[in-house]
Amino acid sequence: MEFLSYLISGISLGSVYAIIALGYTMVYGIAKMLNFAHGDVIMVGGYISICATSYLELPGWLSVLLAMAVCTVLGVVIEGLAYKPLRQATSLAVLITAIGVSYFLQNAALLIWGASPKGFTPIIPATNAQGEPNALPLFGGQVSISYISLLTMGACIIIMLALTFFTGQTKLGKAMRACSEDKGAAQLMGINVNRTISVTFAIGSALAAVAGVLLCSFTTSLMPTTGSMPGIKAFTAAVFGGIGSIPGAFLGGVLLGIIESLAKAYISTQLANAILFAVLIIVLLVKPSGLLGKYVPEKV
């Protein structure tokens, strides 16, 4: 039963990673860039949600929508100002620019909201008005799943299915896949490549905002540097599942969360991240393109 509760907390943590990783993998698939600023968009989403609930006194669900709207605009602006001029540049130049954007967001947040951790009220509180836990009991109350975990898992699955449908069936989604295959050919077919990339950034950033609110609902505190480690882990999850693949990012995120939770419980709290990264390395050595990634042989 103890194992089951660790497993559940692992899956809900993994669902947050998976939502971030889905955004990451979309952006990577089309722009072929490591967007290190993605983790910091998560942090901005969290702060917007805090501001919405504490200053504007909006309900939790509305604060999520507001955070999504702000982050979408932020993502599109970042893409337009910092990444668009570098379309033809080397990938390293784009990487360093992304790092610059990440520093910028962190330090801007530091100036606006201060360095000390801010308390975050979960969008579904841990206990209800009567003091009973907001959780679904299983096996006669031996194990329980909190509603926030259920919400996270549900959101993650819905987002994954919606993105799979979107990229597979809709016109814009097909345009995205075309751009990720070959930008030049896509342009010749009449696809507006720049607009497609902007839309991808908008989707990725909106997902980051959702992930930010959910992540802070688990950790219940928020700092300007909160986003960087989940950002790196989500990137790891995307690579783990095969970067560019939507089901891969989902699988990678959930597996990563489970590994982290079980490693913390049974092996060592201090070495949890080391174990997680060690598993990643082993998987990549056995399957160099990730779990569900396509292997593209190099041609001369």
Partner 1 sequence: MNKLTKKIKGLKKTTKVDFATYLGVILAFVLFSVLRDAGVLNRSITGMLVPICAYIVMAVSLNLTVGILGELSLGHAGFMSVGAFSGVIASQSLQAAIPSAPARLAIAILVGAVFAAIAGTIVGIPVLRLQGDYLAIVTLAFGEIIKELINCLLVGYDSNGLHMAFNLDGSLTINDIGMEPGGMAIIKGAQGATGTETIASFTAGFILIMITLVIVLNLVRSRAGRAIMALRDNRIAAESVGINVTKYKMMAFVTSAALAGAAGALYGLNYSNLAASKFSFDTSILVLVYVVLGGLGNMWGSIIAAAVLYFLPEALRQFADFRMLVYAIVLILVMLATNSEQLKTLAGRVLPKRKGAAHNG
Residues that bind partner 1 (CB under 8 A): 28, 34, 36, 82, 85-90, 92-93, 95-97, 99-101, 103-104, 107-108, 110-111, 228, 232, 235-236, 239, 243, 267-271, 273-274, 277-278, 280-281, 284-285, 288-289, 298, 300
Length of the chain: 300
Tell how strand 135-138 and strand 143-146 pair up.
antiparallel
**Shortest spacing between CB 85 and partner 1, in angstroms:** 4
**Shortest spacing between CB 43 and partner 1, in angstroms:** 15
Query: Chain-centre distance of CA 243, in angstroms?
Result: 13
243 vs 249, beta carbon nearer partner 1 = 243
**Shortest spacing between CB 268 and partner 1, in angstroms:** 5
95 vs 138, beta carbon nearer partner 1 = 95
7 vs 95, beta carbon nearer partner 1 = 95
**Shortest spacing between CB 115 and partner 1, in angstroms:** 10
42 vs 214, beta carbon nearer partner 1 = 42
Element (H, E) at 222: strand 221-222
52 vs 280, beta carbon nearer partner 1 = 280
In this structure, are residues 221 and 262 in contact, taking their beta carbons and an 8 Å threshold?
A: no
**Shortest spacing between CB 107 and partner 1, in angstroms:** 4
**Shortest spacing between CB 243 and partner 1, in angstroms:** 7
**Shortest spacing between CB 124 and partner 1, in angstroms:** 32
173 vs 242, beta carbon nearer partner 1 = 242
Other C-beta atoms within 10 Å of 127: how many?
11
The residue whose two tokens read 């955004």 is 23
Dig out the tokens for 217 from the structure.
């609902």
110 vs 161, beta carbon nearer partner 1 = 110
3-state secondary structure 93-150: HHHHHHHHHHHHHHHHHHHHHCCCCEECCCCCCCECCCCCECEEEECCCCEEEEHHHH
Backbone angles phi, psi at 145, to 5 degrees: -110, 120
Interior CA angle at 240 toward 291 and 148, to 5°? 110
Dig out the tokens for 218 from the structure.
């688990």
DSSP 170-181: SHHHHHHHHHHH
Query: Residues 227, 232, 235, 240: what is their CA dihedral angle, to the nearest 10 degrees?
Result: -140
